Amino acid sequence: MIAYRGMVDVPRELVRHLARLLAAERRARGTRRGTRAFTCFYQALLVLIWFRKAEDKTLLGTGFGVSRATAYRSVAEGVAVLAAQAPDLHEALQQVADDGWSYVILDGKQFDRDCDRVAETALSVKGDTIDVWYSGKHRDVGATHPSDHATDGLPTWTSDAMPGHLHDLTCAQQQGITAALNRSAAELNLPALSDAGYDGAGHGIKTPVKQPNDGRRLAPDNRTTNRLLRGLRWHGERGFAILHGRWKSLHHTTSGPRGIGDIVAAALHLTHVEYRHLPEGR
């Protein structure tokens, strides 16, 4: 095995931030000093290298002089402490409202997975047996994550992983997203813009006007509304690009589908730290 020097393009402040979270976790667990393979700083560095480069954990552990099991355990602990820092939906909406944004963007993305450790099935509306995590829309196995984005596209919140076969609106309803957005529109004056996949989501969630079934053209005012929505909603795609492009561990994960939710939430918190989008006191 050949060793070589490497670099990772994350700021030292981010490593220190994660190291403080790991130190607090060790104190909460009552971990005795000197009983871990390496310090909180180097564990944080290992975790961030995995997030940034998606390197093989066995080789990554070898580079740090720890075993394969220790490398896997260290990354899992880092993901857990980061995911615990991610805001819930109500906190995210309140922060966006306090920051003075006039609306949020509701969108969803499927994150692919590269393992076959899932054998869950369900009955389709036609009564056929289908793979719970297979998306006919994307023709791939993965987990769907509805999320909210600020006006400038910065992702502010991501949901838990939902089975890939579910419709976007069904995912949002089962996660309580539509109810939270209905409330924020009424109480915080913070409407949500979304695509046609969320049609019928309720008050305050603006979707494009659908084309008439009889083939007639939309009225000019409806076409203008749709054009305006398209011109504003594209920032939601930028939000996913920020997450997906910055943290390569999200490209193809070997985690179980339900574990993807913690990885995405952890990446969201790392993004918030880098963009300084944190509530006061954190």
Residue ending a domain, among 83, 103, 127, is: 83
Same-domain pairing of 67 and 190:
no
Block residue for tokens 């509805």: 146
Nearest Cα to Cα of residue 107 among 276, 272, 241:
241
β-sheet bridge partners, residue 104:
192
Domain edge (last residue) among 83, 117, 145: 83
Supply the Cα-derived Rg of the chain in whole angstroms: 21
Residue 6 is assigned to a structural domain of this protein = no
Question: CA–CA distance from 277 to each of 209, 267, 272 (Å)?
Answer: 33, 13, 5
Give me the pLDDT at residue 138, please. Answer: 53
Report the pLDDT value the prediction gives residue 15, as an integer from 0 to 100. Answer: 96
Instruction: Give me the number of domains the chain comprises.
Output: 2
Q: Which residues of 65-76 are buried (b: 16+ CB within 10 A; e: fewer)?
A: ebeeebbebbbe
- Is residue 155 located within the same domain as residue 45? no
The CA distance from 2 to 24, in Å, is: 35
Q: Please list the rounded mean pLDDT of every run of 10 residues in the chain (282 residues).
A: 83 96 95 89 96 92 93 95 93 92 85 56 60 58 70 87 74 88 93 88 88 85 91 83 88 71 92 87 56
Within 13 Å, how many C-alpha atoms sit on residue 281's CB side? 2
- β partners of residue 110: 144
Residue 274 structure tokens: 């880098």
Pick from 114, 125, 208, 205: nearest CA to 165: 125
Q: What is the pLDDT, as a whole number, of residue 149?
A: 85
**What's the confidence (pLDDT) of residue 281?**
54
Same-domain pairing of 146 and 66 = no
Position 80 scores a pLDDT of: 95
pLDDT of 278: 81
Together in a domain, 111 and 239: yes
- If asked whether residues 55 and 118 sit together in one domain, one would say no
Q: Same domain, yes or no, for 72 and 94?
A: no
Are residues 140 and 47 both part of a single domain?
Answer: no
265: in domain? no
Output the pLDDT for position 171: 82
**Is 272 part of a structural domain of the chain?**
no
- 56 in any annotated domain: yes
Residues 79 and 97 in one domain: no
CB count within 10 Å of CB 31 equals 13
| pLDDT score, position 188 | 93
**Within this chain, do residues 234 and 101 fall inside the same structural domain, yes or no?**
yes
The pTM of the full predicted model, rounded to 2 decimals, is: 0.85
196 part of a folded domain: yes
Q: Which of 83, 115, 142 is the last residue of a domain?
A: 83
246 within domain boundaries: yes
Residue 2 within any structural domain of the chain: no
Range of the domain at 148: 89-254
Q: Does 140 share its domain with 232?
A: yes
Residues 121, 232, single domain; the answer is yes
Does one domain contain both 114 and 241?
yes
Among residues 53, 46, 43, the alpha carbon closest in space to that of 250 is found at: 53
Is residue 33 one of the residues assigned to a domain? yes
The pLDDT of residue 82 = 97
Give the pLDDT score at 128. Answer: 61
